Amino acid sequence: MNYEVIIVGAGSMGMAAGYYLAKQGKRVLLIDSHNPPHAEGSHHGETRIIRHAYGEGESYVKMALRAQELWNELEEQSEEKIFLPTGVINIGQPDSTFIQNVISSAKNYSLNVEQLTADEIKKRWTGFHVPEGYIGCYEVDSGVLMSENCIRAFRNQAKAHGAVLKVNAPVTSITIFEDSVQVDTADESFTAASLIMTPGAGTRKLLPLVDLELPLQEERNTFSWFETDESLYRSSDFPAFSFELPTETYYGFPSIDQAGVKIGRHDGGIPRDMKQPLAEFGTYEQDQQDVSSYAEQFMPRLGSHKMGKACTYTMTPDEDFIIDKHPGHDHVVIACGFSGHGFKFSSVIGEILSQLVIGNRESTLDIRPFSMKRFSK
Ligand SMILES: Cc1cc2nc3c(=O)[nH]c(=O)nc-3n(C[C@H](O)[C@H](O)[C@H](O)COP(=O)(O)OP(=O)(O)OC[C@H]3O[C@@H](n4cnc5c(N)ncnc54)[C@H](O)[C@@H]3O)c2cc1C
């Protein structure tokens, strides 16, 4: 047996898992079809928001808080900038489920969240225009993760602890034996006691190799940078944000290192045919139109649209994650379907995945909400 654990897909989740295993002295092999961090998966575009008072549901809060601890640890250990404490404001109508979840998460977990009226938001950050009747929940301790730096830091640390990384090596075949696995690429074949599958948008293609079917749908989403008046929008003064409208949801980042404000639309992604390459930004009219019309109405002091990029979400039907053991094989673990909100958790999910393949193979945090059984008929 060559390795104790093989990780297929060394992106956001896989690279973190590789680090936590290698740190514990495990012989771990990470295999990726590209050279992470890269622009062919779901983690590029430099930044991701981390929120703690979780609008998508309170079952995520403990994971978000543990994730933050682990990001802070990574920041201490690495040379890279990992986390920017910009604060995050969640703006929406007071009766929206998302806003209600933020308020109840903040209350039940004693999080530092300030509730602000539309006028109070406009007064504090003159770069926003907020409609009457909307409110904002300002998470003081949340902020921005430098996503590509995070993956680079996990990669460097994993390798420093002895992990082996094969890049530009798409996995072509997986064979599961009773107490081991064999993973093949075009040129090589590897065996290990356990397998972690974290291939992101490549998951659906690999599922038949391990005899699994999951209701995943890849979606193309885009994001854009705008010309920015630094005195209004720089990251020392302006927060990251989510902005929920009745039928659309946007998110964005302050200007970091003078890059300009970055804005994306969270919903409204276009289903992808994974046999075709990702259509570049600008292929569809809505790529620029949606964010520009949002900016005109709600951040009217921004300048013109500078540039945009396309990226992929892997959606589950309920937009909750899948983190589970293979139903027929205890030594095979899969984490996928991060539905456009997974990055902030990648540190803690790496830790959870490492726990699921070693020792008593149990996660210290409750992952029952992420079971794949919820989709079985
Ligand atoms: C535009 C955009 C904005 C987002 N904003 C946020 C945000 O603000 N906050 C947040 O928390 N989350 C956000 N997300 C979501 C988050 O980035 C993803 O949920 C997360 O990156 C998914 O991680 P992953 O490990 O599943 O995928 P990835 O990081 O893409 O990793 C998967 C890896 O598997 C590899 N792979 C695929 N197939 C194979 C194969 N056959 N063999 C070997 N390797 C393979 C790929 O090359 C890749 O490196 C956003 C996503 C996008 C696209």
Whether the predicted pLDDT of 287 surpasses 90: yes
118 shares its domain with 229: yes
328 shares its domain with 310: no
13 shares its domain with 35: yes
pLDDT tens-digit profile of 335-371?
999 999 999 999 999 999 999 999 889 999 999 999 9
Q: What is the pLDDT of residue 1?
A: 59
Q: Indicate left, alpha or beta for 371 from its phi (over 0: left) and psi (-120 to 50: alpha).
A: beta
233 shares its domain with 131: yes
Whether the predicted pLDDT of 203 surpasses 80: yes
Question: Of the residues 8, 43, 270, which should be mutated to test ligand 1's pocket, given the most ligand atoms within 8 Å of the CB?
Answer: 43
Nearest to 143 by CA among 80, 69, 66, 87: 87
CA distances from 177 to 182, 277, 356 (A): 8, 34, 18
**Ligand 1 mean position, distance from CA 314 (Å):** 8
**Ligand 1 mean position, distance from CA 192 (Å):** 24
DSSP SS3 for 248? coil
Q: What is the pLDDT of residue 271?
A: 97
| Domain boundary residue, one of 315, 341, 362 | 315
Residue nearest to ligand 1 atom 19, measured at CA: 342
pLDDT band at 2 (very low <50, low <70, confident <90, very high): confident
305 noted as active-site residue: no
Q: What is the pLDDT of residue 138?
A: 98
122 shares its domain with 225: yes
Q: What is the pLDDT of residue 52?
A: 98
Whether the predicted pLDDT of 10 surpasses 80: yes
347 shares its domain with 304: no
The enclosing domain of 337 has a CATH number of 3.50.50.60
Parallel, antiparallel, or unpaired for β 189-197 and 88-92? unpaired
Residue 136 in any domain: the answer is yes
How much is the CA Rg of the chain, to the nearest whole Å? Answer: 20
221 shares its domain with 289: yes
**Ligand 1 mean position, distance from CA 341 (Å):** 10
Domain range for 27 is: 3-43+148-214+319-375
Q: Percent of the chain scored above 70 by pLDDT?
A: 99
Residue 78 in any domain: the answer is no
Say if residue 4 is exposed, middle or buried (CB neighbours under 10 Å; 0-12, 13-18, 19+): middle
Residue 98 in any domain: the answer is yes
| Mean pLDDT of the region 208-224 | 98
Whether the predicted pLDDT of 30 surpasses 70: yes
Residue 187 in any domain: the answer is yes
Whether the predicted pLDDT of 72 surpasses 90: yes
Q: What is the pLDDT of residue 376?
A: 86
Sign of torsion over alpha carbons 163, 164, 169, 170: negative
Q: How many residues would you count in the chain?
A: 377
Pocket of ligand 1 (CB under 6 A): 8-14, 31-34, 36, 40-43, 45, 48-49, 170-171, 198-202, 206, 221, 223, 251, 264, 311-313, 338, 340-344
Answer whether 36's CB lies under 8 Å from 12's CB: no
| Mean pLDDT of the region 161-168 | 98
pLDDT band at 377 (very low <50, low <70, confident <90, very high): low
229 shares its domain with 121: yes
Q: What is the pLDDT of residue 262?
A: 98
266 noted as active-site residue: yes
232 shares its domain with 300: yes
Residue 31 in any domain: the answer is yes
pLDDT tens-digit profile of 259-276?
999 999 999 999 999 999
Q: How big is the CA angle at 201 (ends 198 and 203), to the nearest 5 degrees?
A: 55
Residue 74 in any domain: the answer is no
The enclosing domain of 282 has a CATH number of 3.30.9.10
306 shares its domain with 336: no
| Mean pLDDT of the region 54-60 | 94
Residue 56 in any domain: the answer is no
d(CA 74, CA 369): 27
127 shares its domain with 251: yes
> In sequence order, what are the residues at sequence separation of 6 or more whose Cβ sits closer than 8 angstroms to the Cβ of residue 62?
109, 365, 366
47 noted as active-site residue: yes
335 shares its domain with 265: no
| Domain boundary residue, one of 297, 315, 333 | 315
Residue by residue, DSSP assigns 280-336 as: PTTSSTHHHHHHHHHHHHH-TT---EEEEEEEEEEE-TTS--EEEEETTEEEEEEEE
Residue nearest to ligand 1 atom 23, measured at CA: 12
Q: In the predicted model, what is the mean pLDDT of the chain?
A: 97
Residue 64 in any domain: the answer is no
Count up the domains in the chain and report the number.
2
| Mean pLDDT of the region 38-60 | 96
| Domain boundary residue, one of 315, 334, 356 | 315
Q: What is the pLDDT of residue 367?
A: 97
Is-above-0.95 flag for pTM? yes
**Residue burial 121-147, b: 16+ Cβ < 10 Å; e: rest:** beebbebbebeeebbbbbbeebbbbbb
> In sequence order, what are the residues at sequence separation of 6 or more whose Cβ sits closer than 8 angstroms to the Cβ of residue 191?
1, 2, 3, 180, 181, 182, 183
